């Protein structure tokens, strides 16, 4: 049965009747190859972007820690300056607002 199917196609192949079909298949195959190459390039760029984003997130975390330290220092200075301000007001005879 299989042999008959193959033998039935042979005359079509020899006469060139399948040429349009094989031509379309070749074009489609070429387009798929091009698409796969573009997808591979996009995947590489995405991997690179992900690495850069991870690095930026680390830098942002470090910056947030530094800002938290600065905020703590400013709060301490603010408390100390309130004490100094009260003393200056008492000594200078300035009424508090």
pLDDT digits (tens, 9 = 90+) for 37-93: 999 999 999 999 999 999 999 999 999 999 999 999 999 999 999 999 888 888 877
Domain membership of residue 28 (yes or no) is yes
pTM, 2 dp: 0.56
- Domain containing 78 equals 10-92
Give the total number of structural domains in the chain.
1
Indicate the Cα dihedral angle 13, 17, 20, 25, nearest 10°: -30
Query: Given a cut of 70, is residue 7 above it in pLDDT?
Result: no
Domain membership of residue 4 (yes or no) is no
Domain membership of residue 3 (yes or no) is no
User: Distance from CA of residue 65 to its chain's centroid?
Assistant: 24
Residue 20: what pLDDT?
76
Domain membership of residue 97 (yes or no) is no
Residue 41: what pLDDT?
98
- DSSP assigned state of 16: T
Distance CA 55, CA 47 (A): 13
Domain membership of residue 67 (yes or no) is yes
Task: Report residue 17's pLDDT band, with 50, 70 and 90 as the boundaries.
Answer: low
H-helix segments, the chain: 2-15, 19-92
Residue 18: what pLDDT?
64
Q: Which of 64, 86, 65, 67 is nearest to 75 (CA)?
A: 67
Domain membership of residue 80 (yes or no) is yes
- DSSP assigned state of 17: T
Asked whether the CA dihedral 27, 31, 36, 38 is positive or negative, the reply is positive
């Amino acid at each position: 049965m299989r042999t008959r199917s193959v033998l039935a196609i042979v005359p079509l192949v020899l006469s060139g009747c399948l040429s349009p079909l094989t031509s379309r298949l070749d074009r489609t195959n070429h387009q798929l190859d091009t698409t796969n190459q573009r997808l591979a390039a996009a995947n590489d760029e995405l991997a690179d972007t992900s690495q850069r984003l991870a690095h930026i997130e680390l830098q942002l975390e470090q910056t947030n820690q530094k800002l938290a330290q600065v905020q703590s220092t400013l709060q301490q200075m603010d408390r100390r300056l309130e004490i100094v301000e009260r003393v200056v007001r008492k000594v200078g005879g300035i009424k508090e607002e």
